[in-house]
Amino acid sequence: MFRGNYKSKNEVGQPILYAKGDVVIDQGKAYECLETTVDSPIQSPFKWKVTGLAHPQTSANPPLKPIENQSWLDTSGKQYIYYKDSNGSQWIET
């Protein structure tokens, strides 16, 4: 189930439990939960897998470790896709 942006705690401060199959967005990447956890994809990468889907990350600079087909929205509103072709991988403005 899609759960939106990863959050460690709910509105009353209790840890959020993610179950196998839950999908979250964290740092511009979509992750699927592989086992029940309260840890983030960054804290416990073996409990999550990158889905290959990507949610646009908004920032002044592109993500440092992009994955193929990841989206990035710069602060001026331009959208880019991290694209791989015969010349290698690069950010392409859409």
pTM, to two decimals: 0.58
16: its two tokens = 């959020």
What pLDDT shows up at residue 54? 60
What SS3 state is found at 51? strand
Separation between Cα atoms, residue 62 and residue 81, nearest integer Å: 10
Q: Give pLDDT tens digits for 75-93.
A: 998 888 787 777 788 888 8
Sheet of strand 2-5: strand arrangement: 2-5, 23-26, 29-33, 48-54
Instruction: Examine the pLDDT at 38 and tell me if it is beyond 90.
Output: yes
d(Cα 12, Cα 90) in Å, to the nearest integer? 42
Query: How, if at all, do strands 23-26 and 29-33 pair?
Result: antiparallel
Domains contained in the chain, CATH given: 1-54 (2.10.10), 56-94 (no CATH)
